[in-house]
């Protein structure tokens, strides 16, 4: 198994949650799936005194029929928290019919500006 935390200098989820306790913010990239739902819920348990910043990306909506379901899932997850959550939404589509790059890489690149605007020190994908 490749340990991205130590080999690339990336922070672990546990480390990010510890820093969040000290007031350091992260931008959470949400897909609407179970992984991002858990991350949002766990982060909301720690960050109770300030807004949570999120970015929901519609990846390749022309090939996927999941767009409406993902939007509904993200909306319901945020409603469940009953908290102030800022959501930025972006759409990536290509007329060529091919993926621009791996989803996780694209999510980070698309989220960099949103993270800087919201003064977030980390992007959690």
CATH number at residue 55: 3.40.50.620
Residue 11 lies in a domain: no
Q: Is 102 left (phi over 0), alpha (psi -120 to 50) or beta?
A: beta
Judge contact between 111 and 18, C-beta under 8 A. Answer: no
Burial of 125 (0-12, 13-18, 19+ CB in 10 A): buried
Residue 90 lies in a domain: yes
Residue 9 lies in a domain: no
Residue 19 lies in a domain: no
The label of the residue with tokens 């807004």 reads 51
pLDDT of residue 97: 57
Residue 2 lies in a domain: no
Specify the pTM.
0.80
Domain count of the fold of the chain: 1
Q: What is the pLDDT along the chain (125 residues), one digit of tens a residue?
A: 445 555 556 788 899 999 999 999 999 999 888 999 999 999 999 999 999 999 998 776 666 667 788 889 999 999 999 989 988 888 776 555 555 566 677 777 788 888 999 999 988 88
Domain of residue 70: give its range. 25-101+113-124
pLDDT of residue 32: 86
Residue 10 lies in a domain: no
């Amino acid at each position: 198994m490749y340990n991205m935390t130590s080999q690339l200098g990336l922070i672990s989820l546990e480390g990010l949650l510890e820093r969040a306790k000290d007031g350091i913010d992260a931008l959470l990239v949400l897909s609407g799936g179970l992984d991002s739902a858990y991350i949002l819920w766990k982060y909301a348990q720690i960050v109770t005194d300030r807004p949570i910043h999120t970015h929901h990306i519609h990846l390749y909506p022309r090939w996927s029929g999941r767009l409406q379901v993902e939007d509904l899932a993200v909306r319901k997850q945020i409603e469940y928290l009953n908290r102030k959550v800022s959501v930025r939404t972006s759409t990536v589509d290509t007329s060529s019919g091919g993926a621009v790059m791996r989803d996780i890489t694209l999510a980070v690149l698309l989220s960099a500006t949103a993270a800087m605007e919201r003064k977030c020190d980390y992007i959690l994908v």
